[in-house]
């Protein structure tokens, strides 16, 4: 297919560039002057990138909160997405560096990038895993299969947050947020989360750590179009040099309503052992990271004013803490 004329790219941008999802707009405004300036210049930035990369820009994509994302087509007719990050939210460019290191293995491929402007041109994937109506056990299996493909050694010379650093930062946040929020969950839960974080900090081993996604859930797991049997890839990685159990702990954090539909401890332990069986990772580190993530996420949601969602996270964490120490 012939290259898209620059005039056509500019005209296409004009029709779509102002369709900034409300959640992206509010997140940009929330960070202050830099975010407001980014919003003001976004139309021009999209136009510039469309011209420089000879793109036809289509409809904005909703769902994210930290980037403007729009469908795009390359001069060769290849489907892509243009992603432009809100400045300051990924200061170490962990997403870009993780995607470049993966080279399409388990993650969306990078076609073009401009780190200075926070811009990525990525492989366009299909729908999110959570949109497919699959049973929970099937969703867990899909994510585990994709993680097994995505986990990889740290590239030579690369520097990402380590498992020890992640554990320490989560413990610090949990202790501070619990105090600031007026002890919204049991002290036993906080003590256990911090104790588990110390265990995982001391357990960090560079020899067995991998470059991990850091937030692999059903919204960040997208179908690869046109492939049968169906395959999936990840988007929006945080990028961590950490033990495999951390990514599986994210799946212990998710789907809280299902855990509250019965005995949270029994159902949580069942899920933990399912994750261990599917990946060959020991269950206890999965359980500990899951407990840490469920507690820290609940506190974060409270800080953001999302009390109803937070309560689900913390109710399960309290139940796990009470049952485990009974």
> What are the tokens at 107?
């993650």
How far apart CA 57 and CA 127 sit, in angstroms, is 19
Model pLDDT, residue 8: 41
274 and 156 part of one domain: yes
Kindly state the percentage of the chain with pLDDT values over 90. Answer: 83
Q: 236 preceded by cis ω (within 30°)?
A: no
Res 299 pLDDT > 70:
yes
The residue among 63, 96, 123 that closes a domain is: 123
pLDDT tens by residue, 116-134? 999 999 999 999 999 999 9
Which residue range is the domain that position 186 belongs to? 129-325
Sign of the Cα torsion 125, 129, 131, 133 reads positive
- The DSSP letter of residue 115 is G
pLDDT tier for residue 195 given thresholds of 50, 70 and 90: very high
The residue among 101, 123, 145 that closes a domain is: 123
CATH of the domain at 208: 3.90.1200.10
How far apart CA 279 and CA 148 sit, in angstroms, is 7
* pTM score, whole prediction: 0.90
Model pLDDT, residue 286: 98
Region 221-227: what's the mean pLDDT? 92
Tell me if residue 216 falls in helix, strand or coil.
Answer: coil
What's the 3-state SS for 19-43?
Answer: CCCHHHHHHHHHCCHHHHHHHHHHH
pLDDT tier for residue 3 given thresholds of 50, 70 and 90: very low
Strand intervals (E) in the chain? 56-60, 67-73, 79-85, 110-114, 119-123, 210-212, 221-223, 232-234, 240-242
Does 44 reside within a domain?
A: yes
Does 60 reside within a domain?
A: yes
How far apart CA 149 and CA 139 sit, in angstroms, is 16
**Strand order, beta sheet including 119-123:** 56-60, 67-73, 79-85, 119-123, 110-114
Model pLDDT, residue 315: 96
How far apart CA 198 and CA 126 sit, in angstroms, is 39
240 and 146 part of one domain: yes
Does 146 reside within a domain?
A: yes
Region 160-182: what's the mean pLDDT? 97
Kindly state the percentage of the chain with pLDDT values over 70. Answer: 94
Question: Which backbone phi and psi does 229 adopt, to 5 degrees?
Answer: -65, 155
Region 47-53: what's the mean pLDDT? 96
pLDDT tier for residue 1 given thresholds of 50, 70 and 90: very low
Res 326 pLDDT > 60:
no
Res 314 pLDDT > 90:
yes
Residue in 154, 168, 172 with CA at minimum distance from that of residue 240: 154
Residue in 181, 171, 165 with CA at minimum distance from that of residue 305: 181
- Measured from the Cβ of residue 311, the count of other Cβ atoms closer than 10 Å reads 16
Model pLDDT, residue 17: 44
Q: Are 223 and 126 in contact (CB under 8 A)?
A: yes
241 and 204 part of one domain: yes
> Per DSSP, what are the bridge partners of residue 234?
107, 221
The total number of structural domains in the chain stands at: 2
Region 259-276: what's the mean pLDDT? 97
The residue among 89, 123, 157 that closes a domain is: 123
119 and 227 part of one domain: no
Region 162-191: what's the mean pLDDT? 97
> What are the tokens at 206?
């560079």
Q: Where is average pLDDT lowest: 2-11, 60-69, 149-158?
A: 2-11
Region 77-97: what's the mean pLDDT? 92
204 and 61 part of one domain: no
pLDDT tier for residue 18 given thresholds of 50, 70 and 90: low
Q: Across the chain, what does the average pLDDT equal?
A: 92
Model pLDDT, residue 325: 57
pLDDT tens by residue, 282-293? 999 999 999 999
Res 4 pLDDT > 70:
no
């Amino acid at each position: 297919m012939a290259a898209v004329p620059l005039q056509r790219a500019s005209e296409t941008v004009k029709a779509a560039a102002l369709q900034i999802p409300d959640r992206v707009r509010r997140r940009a405004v929330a960070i202050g002057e830099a975010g407001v300036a980014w919003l003001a210049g976004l139309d021009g930035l999209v136009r510039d990138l469309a011209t420089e990369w000879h793109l036809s820009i289509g409809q904005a994509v909703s769902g994210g909160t930290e980037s403007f994302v729009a469908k795009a087509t390359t001069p060769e007719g290849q489907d892509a997405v243009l992603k432009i990050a809100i400045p300051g939210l990924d200061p170490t460019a962990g997403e870009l560096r993780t995607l470049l290191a993966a080279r399409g293995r388990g993650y969306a491929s990078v076609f073009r990038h401009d780190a200075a402007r926070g811009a990525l041109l990525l492989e366009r994937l299909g729908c999110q895993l959570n949109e497919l109506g699959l049973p929970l056990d099937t969703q867990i299996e899909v994510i585990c299969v994709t993680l097994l493909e995505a986990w990889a050694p740290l590239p030579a010379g690369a520097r990402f947050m380590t498992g020890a650093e992640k554990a320490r930062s989560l413990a610090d946040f949990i202790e501070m947020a619990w105090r600031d929020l007026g002890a919204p969950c049991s002290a036993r839960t906080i003590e256990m989360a911090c104790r588990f974080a110390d265990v995982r900090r001391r357990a960090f081993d560079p020899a067995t750590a991998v470059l991990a996604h850091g937030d692999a859930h059903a919204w960040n797991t997208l179908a690869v179009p046109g492939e049968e049997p169906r395959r999936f890839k990840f988007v929006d990685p945080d990028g961590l040099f950490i033990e495999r159990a951390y990514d599986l702990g994210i799946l212990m954090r998710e789907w809280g309503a299902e855990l509250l539909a019965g005995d949270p401890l029994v159902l949580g332990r069942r899920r933990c052992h399912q994750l261990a069986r599917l990946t060959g990772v020991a269950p206890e580190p999965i359980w500990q990271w899951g407990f840490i993530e469920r507690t820290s996420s609940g506190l974060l949601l409270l800080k953001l004013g999302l009390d109803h969602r937070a309560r689900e996270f913390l109710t399960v964490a309290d139940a796990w803490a009470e049952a485990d120490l009974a």
